[in-house]
């Protein structure tokens, strides 16, 4: 069994959503705003993104603690983790 190929395939499948992601076409400051800044625009873009569900699952699986991922803020992801 080729464990390197298996690991590479698993890693690629875990980030395949990024090829569809609208965030790849914007700067990181949009999704990682300064504290106290509005998240409304980032969330609106996420809402129109085909990769949103995969992005959210990636963020939850990798314990992303900062920024907007899958249309949710850090606090919203933390609450979702607690409910799961």
Asked whether 40 and 83 are in contact (CB, 8 A), the reply is: no
- The pLDDT of residue 20 is 83
Say how many residues make up the chain: 84
77: its two tokens: 């992801």
- The pLDDT of residue 75 is 95
- The pLDDT of residue 40 is 94
- The pLDDT of residue 24 is 86
The model's pTM? 0.78
Q: What is the pLDDT along the chain (84 residues), one digit of tens a residue?
A: 333 332 333 344 578 888 889 988 887 888 998 888 899 999 999 999 999 999 999 999 999 999 999 999 999 999 999 998
Q: What share of the chain is helix, strand, coil (3-state, %, to 5)?
A: 60, 0, 35
């Amino acid at each position: 069994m080729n464990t390197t190929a298996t690991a590479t395939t698993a890693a690629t499948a875990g980030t395949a959503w990024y090829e569809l992601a609208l965030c790849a076409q914007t700067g990181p400051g949009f999704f990682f705003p300064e504290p106290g800044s509005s998240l409304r625009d980032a969330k609106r873009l996420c809402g129109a993104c085909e990769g949103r569900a995969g992005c959210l699952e990636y963020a939850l699986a990798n314990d992303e603690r900062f920024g907007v991922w899958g249309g949710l803020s850090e606090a919203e992801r933390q609450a979702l983790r607690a409910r799961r």
